[in-house]
């Protein structure tokens, strides 16, 4: 297996080095790392350049950025990593061995949420168990899949929000995900900034609205307050 990690980023200068440093041992083992920048106004591309194989500049939008990164990726397996998330050590080995031994074509990691609020571990527990039960994961959990599976799915739907959920719905039709128990560490900054309970309620409400057919653009405005 050759793994390509695609990282969509926008104004992530405060996080990007911490995200990229743990990937360096994987690069020595042949993993490709691509940063897809959506027009950062800070030093994100400059900071990332020495720590990735390629920096590409794309139009803004997480789905568009991930699709652009996947289009130039050399790997036969793709991992989409948020710019504020830290992969577990040897994630490349875990993915390669896991997909082969379980005869799966896609999957995600369990997640832990970094932050001070006492309830964040509970939020992570529910995220992990919900996705095991439903076969639906979020981008925070580090979605990965074979390149052929990504192509067959048509890439990420270029919608303002819920592109990760939409992808999982499509992938689930071809089989259940590989659920890697080792944890990816994601930032709890949104939960802590906007309030844990308020954010939990908002995310559940928006996810339900999406499955009931709501316009993703309206969900994006509700999520980001714009």
Instruction: Show the 3-state SS of 16-61.
Output: HHHHHHHHHHHHHCCCEEEEEECCCCCCHHHHHHHHCCEEEECCCC
pLDDT at position 37, please? Answer: 98
Encode the chain (226 residues) as per-residue pLDDT tens digits.
999 999 999 999 999 999 999 999 999 999 999 999 999 999 999 999 999 999 999 999 999 999 999 999 999 999 999 999 999 999 999 999 999 999 999 999 999 999 988 889 999 999 999 999 999 999 999 999 999 999 999 999 998 888 999 999 999 998 999 999 999 999 887 777 767 778 778 777 877 777 778 787 887 787 777 6
Max Cα-Cα span within the chain:
45
Sketch out the chain's domains with CATH numbers: 3-186 (3.90.550.10)
pLDDT at position 190, please? Answer: 75
pLDDT at position 52, please? Answer: 98
Q: How far are the Cα atoms of 109, 131, 143, 196 from residue 136, in angstroms, in the given order?
A: 12, 5, 10, 22
- Judged by phi (left if over 0) then psi (alpha if -120 to 50, else beta), residue 213 lies in left
Name the CA radius of gyration of the chain, rounded. Answer: 16
> With a threshold of 0.85, does the pTM exceed it?
yes
**φ/ψ (deg, to 5) at 79:** -125, 125
């Amino acid at each position: 297996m050759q793994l390509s990690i695609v990282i969509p980023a926008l104004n992530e200068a405060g996080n990007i080095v911490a995200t990229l440093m743990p990937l360096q041992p994987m690069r020595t083992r042949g993993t490709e790392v691509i940063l897809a920048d959506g027009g950062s106004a800070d030093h994100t591309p400059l900071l990332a350049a020495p720590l990735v194989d390629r920096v590409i500049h794309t139009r803004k939008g997480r789905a568009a950025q991930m699709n652009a990164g996947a289009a130039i990726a050399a790997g036969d397996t793709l991992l989409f990593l948020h710019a504020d998330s830290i992969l577990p050590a040897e994630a490349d080995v875990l993915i390669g061995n896991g997909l082969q031994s379980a005869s799966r074509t896609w999957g995600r990691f369990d997640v832990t949420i970094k932050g001070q609020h006492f309830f964040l571990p509970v939020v992570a527990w529910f995220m992990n168990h919900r996705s095991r039960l439903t076969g639906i994961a979020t981008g925070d959990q580090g979605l990965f899949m074979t390149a052929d599976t990504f192509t067959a799915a048509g890439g990420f739907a270029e919608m303002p929000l819920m592109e990760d959920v939409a992808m999982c719905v499509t992938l689930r039709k071809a089989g259940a995900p590989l659920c890697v128990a080792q944890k990816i560490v994601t930032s709890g900054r949104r939960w802590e900034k906007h309030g844990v309970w308020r954010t939990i309620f908002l995310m559940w409400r928006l996810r339900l609205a999406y499955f009931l057919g709501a316009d993703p653009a309206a969900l994006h405005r509700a999520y980001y307050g714009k």
